[in-house]
Amino acid sequence: MSTIQARQRIELLQGTLDLLILRTLLRGPVHGHAIAKAIEFNSDDVLQVEQGSLYPALHRLIKRQWISVEEGVSENNRRAKFYRLTAKGRRQLAVETSKWDKLAGAIARILRPAEQERKS
């Protein structure tokens, strides 16, 4: 990857990765690598997750019972762990999403007060 590309990529805020994982799992159970790919792909490669950091996050979510683990077979025909959103995780996703919207809105209003006024 070129340096310019690397600079345009954004480090994830603490706790944001959890939110992204929950959102990714909303479409059904997938394994670890697929989660990383989905986050990169859906953010047009702007969000570059250091793939390893996915695993502590996944285990945090398992511990909170927001996701569950099941056995499955990956596309390279290996036994793999598939992560599935639980009912509790689904509720949490709604809470976290609305929190994120509030945060993003608040920061946007602070950074661009003029634009907000023009809109309203």
Query: Using the rule CB under 8 A, which residue among 43, 81, 84, 86 binds other proteins?
Result: 81
Q: Which of 11, 20, 30 has its CA nearest to residue 96?
A: 20
Q: Does position 33 bind other proteins by CB under 8 A?
A: yes
Q: What is the DSSP letter of 51?
A: G
- b vs e for 77-103, b when ≥16 Cβ sit within 10 Å of the residue's Cβ? eeebebbebbeebeebbeebeeeeeee
Q: Does position 84 bind other proteins by CB under 8 A?
A: no
Least separation in angstroms between CB 14 and other proteins: 13
Cα 71–Cα 40–Cα 102 angle in degrees, nearest 5: 100
* Of residues 69 and 106, the one with the C-beta less far from other proteins: 69
Q: What is the largest CA-CA distance in the chain?
A: 56
Query: Using the rule CB under 8 A, which residue among 78, 87, 110, 118 binds other proteins?
Result: 78
Amino acid symbol at 94 = A
Least separation in angstroms between CB 56 and other proteins: 4
Q: Does position 117 bind other proteins by CB under 8 A?
A: no
Q: Which residues bind other proteins (CB under 8 A)?
A: 31-33, 36, 50-53, 55-56, 59-60, 62-63, 69, 74-76, 78-81
